[in-house]
Amino acid sequence: MNSSSFNLQNKRVLVTGGAGFIGSHTALELQNAGCKVTIIDNLTNSKTTVLDRINELSETTPVFIKTDIRDTEKVTRVMKENDIEDVIHFAGLKAVGESTQIPDEYYDVNFNGTVSLLNAMKEAAVKSLIFSSSATVYGENANPPLTETLAIDVQGISHAYGRSKAMIELMLEDYTRANKDLSVTCLRYFNPVGAHPSGKMGEDPKGLPNNLMPFVSQVAVGKREKLTVFGNDYNTPDGTCLRDYLHVCDLAEGHLAALDYRIKKGKPGLEVFNFGTGKPSSVLEVIKAFEKASGKNIPYDFGDRRPGDVPSTYADPVLAKEKLGWETKYTLDEMCKHSWNWQNDNPDGYPDS
Ligand code: NAD
Ligand code: UFG
């Protein structure tokens, strides 16, 4: 399966947060599949220079409009002017730790932002939404492998980021019940990592990275001295946490599969899919794989457990395979290799515009 396996020629798709990590890789694949892509982004966590890279890798440039998703009027206008048929909604704030400090911002951008987007869709008569959800909605007490039949556990989530995602999913359930012509797909990502194999696109975190892979990449390239592994006394094979890492290009392709499925199905309603590999890796396994991929030594020490971390989480990915015909293909070694290509070629991320 690749972008040309789908019948998406000339589909007019709005990508919110399309200048960000996952949105930009998805926008690229949509362009390569012949879609007409419009990106909206307020650039709080991205730069417009990513558009040059999309252009370079797809030979076409998406329409880009700088706007906040909470500006309902402007977003409605963008949808109408570009005759949008489908929305893929990535825009939002995603730093778990930060969300415990400024929950108001997280609820405003993530939750109110989604309400605003839904209002704009209603105004512009757009009836299809694919939403970036997270495995975090299963809460911190669920036992892996996690299947979509498990309930959303808002009470079992310890941070505003995760709760905002869970609350959005619950809201979308209510919206699709009330609006019989609305089609919504919630995609619950596990741990997206990696970068475009060309090394031209990747994750470009501002400041200190919160997540493991960008931190490891920055240590490998010499920007940071060492990694602190958060806890080595978990009840796991090597004592460090297990996560389900998936390649961002697999993830991007999954969005095309979801869009293609939505169009073929032609039936409104809400559907939910896990997006993961089903194969967990430990923190130490990631470090080892990255050392192999980069040829660099990654110094690390062990620190305290990070609050809110669960020992082990990974997907049951069967439903996405059965219904969307999509499954991941990249290995952990390839994820590390491509992250390294990106980090090594772009040690300071995307250039300023
Ligand atoms: P990202 O920060 O790289 O991309 C998000 C983009 O949204 C950024 O370009 C940012 O500028 C933009 N944005 C933020 N607030 C906005 C607003 N109010 N209006 C318009 N644009 C706004 O993040 P990402 O890793 O690409 O994540 C994309 C989505 O996937 C997010 O919703 C995130 O919660 C979700 N998700 C990410 C992960 C992960 O580990 N990366 C895991 C699960 C779910
Ligand atoms: N880790 C370290 N050192 C670091 C960074 C991370 O040891 O410097 C460890 C973490 O403790 C965890 C593993 O690496 O064991 C993965 O951590 P990440 O921060 O990369 O990923 P998380 O699993 O914590 O985060 C994911 C998603 C979020 C989601 C969150 C909670 O990225 O969207 O799970 O469910 F909200």
- Segments making up each domain of the chain, as ranges: 11-345
CA 96 to ligand 2 center in whole angstroms: 9
Quick one: pLDDT at residue 3?
63
Instruction: Report the pLDDT value the prediction gives residue 1, as an integer from 0 to 100.
Output: 64
Ligand 1 pocket test: which of 14, 15, 16, 22 has the largest number of ligand atoms within 8 Å of its C-beta?
22
For residue 153, CA distances in Å to 109, 129, 158 come to 21, 23, 10
CATH class of 11-345: alpha beta
pLDDT for the residue 60: 86
Closest residue (by CA) to atom 22 of ligand 1? Answer: 91
DSSP state, residue 109: I
Ligand 1 mean position, distance from CA 87 (Å): 15
Classified as helix, coil or strand, 228 is strand
Tens digits of pLDDT across the chain (353 residues): 666 688 899 999 999 999 999 999 999 999 999 999 999 999 999 999 999 999 999 988 899 999 999 999 999 999 999 999 999 999 999 999 999 999 999 999 999 999 999 999 999 999 999 999 999 999 999 999 999 999 999 999 999 999 999 999 999 999 999 999 999 999 999 999 999 999 999 999 999 999 999 999 999 999 999 999 999 999 999 999 999 999 999 999 999 999 999 999 988 999 999 999 999 999 999 999 999 999 999 999 999 999 999 999 999 999 999 999 999 999 999 999 999 999 999 999 999 98
Global confidence as pTM: 0.98
161 is catalytic: yes
